[in-house]
Amino acid sequence: MTPIIAVVIVYLGMLAAFAIWSRRETHTLAGYYLAGKKLPYWVVAFSTNATGESGWLLLGLTGMGYAVGAQAYWVVVGEVIGIALAWTLVSRRLKRLCDDTDSITVPDILAARFKDRWHLIRGIAVVIILTMVTAYVAAQMIATGKAVSSFTDMNFETGVYVGAAIIIGYTFVGGYKAVSYTDVLQGVLMLLGLIFVPAAAIYAAGGWSSVVSSLTATNPAFLDMFSFSGAGGIGWVGIISFIAIGLPFLGVPQLLVRFMSARNDAELKKARVVSVVVLLLFGLGAVTTGIAGRALYPGLEDPETIFPVISMQLFPPLLTGVLLVIVLSAIMSTVDSLLLLASSAVVRDTMQQILGSKLSDNRLAVYGKVATVLIGILGIVLAFNTEQLIFWFVLFAWSGLGAAFGPVIICLLYYKKTTGAGVAAGMLAGFLTSVVWVLAVKEQTYDLYEAVPGFIVGFAVTLLVSKVTKDTADFRSSYPKQ
């Protein structure tokens, strides 16, 4: 047995232990999908970050640092701003609204204040979640295949199968509690990897000054964050687009449920500080890894393999195994949450709420586990039939979810005159704008990131439709206060 495989086996044993320990919570829908809303701040903080970053961080963002250099730090700026705004503007109000309405899912929260007898709000939310989550899961399966094939002798297809089996297995058994506590382990591993790997790459290159001189000699603009601006309007669109990658933090459902699962308001206050600091370290470490890797290993055919290349070349086999586990951690910490999100849309929102299933909570939780497996299998199929560019594929799904839910959540929490029609129209408008922008408009706008028009249109439509419609909703007398 090689040291790499031995480390992976130990790691899998730890995941299995978490799943077995957590399975007692999986016999109800609230337990399977929200761990009974009893998680402490440190679990909520690390779970939020680990879920939000995924294989995109260790493969996609490091690859972006390798490809475009210091300009990729604008992504870090955007993410830190985005997560800070999400904690400040959304987390505590959303938690109170969740508890006040006894909600389990994000569609529960959106529909709770309205007498939507046709289930229009919930139906639109379910379609958007299932569409984007399936794409998102496929992207993470691609990341799994790349990671395993880069570190071992397995080919891409085998890597996808192995990674998927692991993720689906412990999510099936342990539910949200297992997912959240494994996110802590995975988040800590990711943080350590993004401290030691860039440090090792810089040391191997002869120090930061050597990295700078080597890259500057090849391309003087590579280490200039503002080199985009030299291209005029096109360059500033690039900077705006990179910063806007943080916008969806305000609305992607897989992060919103983290806020909903916290034990109480006080835990959210403490989680906010931990989350923002750790995310900053994540981003800086990832981009710096790509930049230092470019100095060490120029001319890689696939920039998104720079983290595995550094790991294989600069570390002994045992530590290489640990670094493989770190990459897998980044992927798993997102896929498991996405699987639960899609499963809850099928079981809680569709079967129980829209179709009115009278099955017991325990029985529905079983169906939730089955849905988790089926959605995972669909993600595998799509991974084999999709162009293997993790960075952009994840951004597409990220922006679609964020533009659909971010504007309506903000309006629901802060604008008392928001109507059910406004929520339904805003979700649909934000989502469709994001998708249409990618498919038909983006190339004509210097590649302006689709979340920007998606959020603008989502807010505008939500507010406009709310202004011209009158719901039969029985609004509560007061909204949750910060």
Query: Which H, E and C letters describe 247-289, residue by residue?
Result: HHHHCCHHHHHHHHCECCHHHHHHHHHHHHHHHHHHHHHHHHH
Q: d(Cα 105, Cα 97) in Å, to the nearest integer?
A: 12
482 inside domain: no
Q: Do 72 and 287 meet the contact criterion of CB atoms below 8 Å apart?
A: yes
- Between CA 42 and CA 25 the distance in angstroms is 19
What pLDDT was estimated at residue 482? Answer: 43
Quick one: pLDDT at residue 140?
76
Residue 360 within a domain: yes
Closest C-alpha to 137, from 364, 421, 431, 338:
338
Q: What is the mean pLDDT of the chain?
A: 88
Q: What was the pLDDT predicted at 476?
A: 40
- Residue by residue, DSSP assigns 297-340 as STT-S-GGGHHHHHHHHHS-HHHHHHHHHHHHHHHHHHHHHHHH
Is the pLDDT score of 481 beyond 50?
no
What does the pLDDT look like over 446-473, one tens digit per residue?
Answer: 889 999 999 999 999 999 999 998 755 4
Q: Is residue 291 part of a domain?
A: yes
Q: If we measure between CA atoms, which residue out of 160, 156, 169, 189 comes closest to residue 336?
A: 169
Within 10 Å of residue 76's Cβ, how many Cβ atoms?
A: 25
d(CA 400, CA 430): 8
Can you give the pLDDT at residue 479? 44
How many helices, marked H, and strands, marked E, lie in the chain? 19, 0
Q: Are 410 and 418 in contact (CB under 8 A)?
A: no
Give pLDDT tens digits for 298-334: 989 889 889 989 999 999 988 888 888 888 777 777 7
Q: Does residue 476 belong to any structural domain of this protein? A: no
pLDDT-derived band at 231, boundaries 50, 70, 90: low
**Which of the pair, 232 or 23, is modelled with greater confidence?**
23
In a domain, 343, yes or no: yes
Q: Per-residue DSSP letters for 165-224?
A: HHHHHHHHHHHHHHHHHHHHHHHHHHHHHHHHHHHHHHHHTTSHHHHHHHHHHH-TTTT-
**Packing angle between helix 120-151 and helix 317-344, nearest 10 degrees?**
160
Question: For residue 432, what is the enclosing H or E element?
Answer: helix 420-436
Other beta carbons within 10 Å of 385: 7
Binned at pLDDT 50, 70 and 90, residue 44 comes out as: very high
Question: Which residue is associated with the tokens 């770190």?
Answer: 326
CB contact at 8 A, 306 and 63? yes
Is a pLDDT exceeding 50 seen at residue 183? yes
Q: Is the pLDDT of residue 475 over 70?
A: no
Q: DSSP letter at 72?
A: G
Taking alpha carbons only, the member of 406, 399, 400, 407 closest to residue 459 is 407
State how far the Cα of 302 lies from the Cα of 224, in Å rounded to an integer. Answer: 23
Q: What is the Cα–Cα distance from 245 to 241, expressed in whole angstroms?
A: 7
Asked whether residue 395 is domain-assigned, the answer is no
Work out the pLDDT band at 388, boundaries 50, 70, 90.
low
- pLDDT reported for residue 477: 35
Sequence-ordered list of residues with C-beta below 8 angstroms from that of 407, at least 6 positions apart, any chain: 251, 426, 430, 455, 458, 459, 462
- At residue 474 the predicted structure's pLDDT band, cuts being 50, 70 and 90, is very low
Number of domains in the chain: 1
Give mean pLDDT, residues 396-421: 94
* Tokens encoding 373: 């497996």
Query: Domain range for residue 338?
Result: 3-389
Q: What is the reported pLDDT for 386?
A: 62
Give the pLDDT band (50/70/90) at residue 202.
Answer: very high
pLDDT, tens digit, 9 for 90 and up, residues 88-119: 999 999 999 999 999 999 999 999 888 888 89
Q: What is the mean pLDDT of residues 151-161?
A: 83
Residue found by looking up tokens 């199968």 in the block: 161
* pLDDT at res. 230: 59
| Within-domain flag for 467 | no
Q: Measured between alpha carbons, how far is 404 from 426 in angstroms, rounded to an integer?
A: 7
The amino acid that residue 357 corresponds to is S
**pLDDT recorded at residue 471:** 53
Mean local confidence (pLDDT), 161-190? 82
Query: Domain with 293 in it: what CATH number?
Result: 1.20.1730.10
Residues in contact with 45: Cβ distance below 8 Å, sequence separation at least 6, in sequence order: 270, 271, 272, 274, 275, 278
| pLDDT tens digits along 254-277 | 999 999 999 999 999 999 999 999
Q: Give pLDDT, residue 446.
A: 86
Confidence grade of residue 480 (pLDDT, cut at 50, 70, 90): very low
Q: Which amino acid is at 473?
A: A
Mean pLDDT of 227-252: 85
As a whole number of angstroms, the distance between CA 112 and CA 477 comes to 14
What is the arithmetic mean of pLDDT over 351-375? 88
Q: With respect to residue 292, please indicate whether it lies within any of the assigned structural domains.
A: yes
Stretch 204-231: mean pLDDT: 88
Whether the predicted pLDDT of 134 surpasses 90: no
CA dihedral 426, 476, 86, 352 (to 10 degrees): -70
